[in-house]
Amino acid sequence: MQTLGSHAAWATAGRPRRRHDRDGYGPLRRARAANTGEELLALPAGFTYTVFGLTGTTMSDGQATPIAHDGMAAFPSPRRGAVRLIRNHEVRTGPGSPTGRVHVPGSDRYDEQGVAGTTTLDVDPRTGRVLEHFVSLNGTTTNCAGGVMYGGRGWLSCEETTAGPRQGWQRKHGYVFEVPLHGPGPGRPAASRPITAMGRFSHEAVAVDPRTGYVYETEDDSGKPNGFYRYRPRNPRDLADGGVLEMLKITGRPGYDTREGQRMGARLPVEWVRIDDPDPDLENGAATCTQQGLAAGGAKFNRLEGCWYGDGSIYFNSTSGGDAKNGDSPGADGYREGYGQVWRYIPGRRRDRDHGGRGPHRWNRDGGTLELVYESPGRKVLDSPDNLTFTPRGGIILCEDDASSADADPHPLAPGLDNVNRLIGLDPGGAPFEFAVNITDDSEFAGACFSPDGSVLFANTLGSTTDLTPPGRTYAIRGPWRRGPL
């Protein structure tokens, strides 16, 4: 099967699609959850789902399941036959607010006023039954997305904010935190320690290149240009040991604006510029990481969100990039938001091995290329891609986050909803297709990821980030994956 790296080539070459590529898995229909009977999603024929992890559900540690289910990853569980999910909660309430809070009294927390963090769930993938669930990180705020740690040792959870004491928090925020896969259990969350060398900015997601241990980071700060970052750690297994933070720059074209006027399939040569102060004292007027990178010629993106390693490359979404505009008011620099782009960064060529051929490969620091592999022509096709994931069969799934407030986005399978969000697949011909529709509320999809054996797709609907309704939910979707392009 062709992978996403070939999508732009297929599209520009005008190659014919195979039969199943024309409509993904066929038309969708409203479906009931196998375990509750609720009609929550629309899916293609042959696919079934269970729902669990509902906001307010009492967990194994006695805490209520928090609000705002966001980025997530699936790992092998210590329990035989089970899958371990580590799930972010993008709680955006005020400092210390009890509403939907991620909180374990007496635990080792970075900020006593923190309201967000992660929960860990062990799930039976066949039935969707939750075997154990508990808070695994607290003392943070606005934990949006993240990524899998080097070697699959756990989850990197990212704060999508740069708030601090001036906003009522006890500590500065805007960092990445580690959540060990095999850490403490119920009632004993991991100690929350910010990795300051990875940067203080409005983080979204990260992806680790398993060949180098480099961590690629997206930034989502609405209304202004954002950067795409790379963290080169001294030790990939100990990110807190320090390293170098850099921003992507298009070689020979300082300040290149990727947000519009781009051509699918064109490859742009890349170099990286160093961020000299990755942990800026924003409270006293220090230049932000973004300002530092752009001043050095870094490329401009708009609302970078989902990020995933696959097919030897790093793929990431610009949620509001593109020439087709969504109608929202322009940002501070006059840019008008689009319906979304999917980008691919292809790392530089391998040089040689360190340590006499026994260590990791050394890679050209200034090498690599950037390629636009898909750009949405309008909301009906793809509206604001957020999280993304690769499928075990080489396909890709995009989680929609209808970011525009200007245009309604109804759907015939979800009557009564003005802004409907979907899971969108990309076929080998570069064309998007609907795979799932949230027919319950206007929550965005988030955290899509596959079980280690590839048989189950897990995904969240966010719910509210400030209130108990609508609730966040987690889904387990099974079906005939090999019948179509995912």
pLDDT of residue 412: 96
Residue 131 has pLDDT above 80, yes or no: yes
Question: Domain total for the chain?
Answer: 1
Q: What is the mean pLDDT of the chain?
A: 91
Q: pLDDT value at position 357?
A: 41
Per-residue pLDDT, 350:
54
| pLDDT at residue 18, rounded to an integer | 43
Q: What is the pLDDT of residue 341?
A: 97
CA distance 327 to 8: 26
pLDDT band at 330 (very low <50, low <70, confident <90, very high): confident
CA-nearest of 189, 184, 140, 138 to 161 is: 140
Phi, psi of 410, deg, nearest 5? -75, 170
Q: pLDDT digits over 257-288, tens only?
A: 999 999 999 999 999 999 999 999 999 999 99
Helices (H) and strands (E) in the chain, counts: 2, 28
Q: Which pLDDT does position 403 carry in this prediction?
A: 65
pLDDT-above-90 percentage for the chain: 83
**In the structure encoding, which two tokens stand for residue 61, read together?**
């540690």
Q: Can you name the residues that pair with 228 across neighbouring β-strands?
A: 218
Each residue of 355-369: pLDDT tens digit? 344 444 444 455 899
The tokens describing 460, both together, are 């969240």
pLDDT of residue 353: 45
Q: So what's the pLDDT on residue 404?
A: 65
Q: For residue 303, count CB atoms less than 10 angstroms from its CB and return exposed for 0-12, middle for 13-18, buried for 19 or more.
A: buried
CA atoms within 13 A on the CB side of 419: 15
Asked whether residue 118 carries a pLDDT value surpassing 70, the answer given is yes
Quick check: 47 pLDDT over 80? yes
Domain that holds residue 104: 4-483
The pLDDT of residue 6 is above 60: no
Burial of 331 (0-12, 13-18, 19+ CB in 10 A): middle
Q: What is the pLDDT of residue 16?
A: 39
- The pLDDT score that the predictor gives to residue 361 is 47
pLDDT at site 395? 87
pLDDT of amino acid 3: 53
Q: Is 155 helix (H, G, I), strand (E, B) or coil?
A: strand
Choice among 27-41, 61-75, 370-384, 401-415 with the minimum mean pLDDT: 401-415
- CATH number, domain with residue 217: 2.120.10.30
At 332 the pLDDT is 85
pLDDT of res. 293: 98
User: Higher-confidence residue: 183 or 323?
Assistant: 323
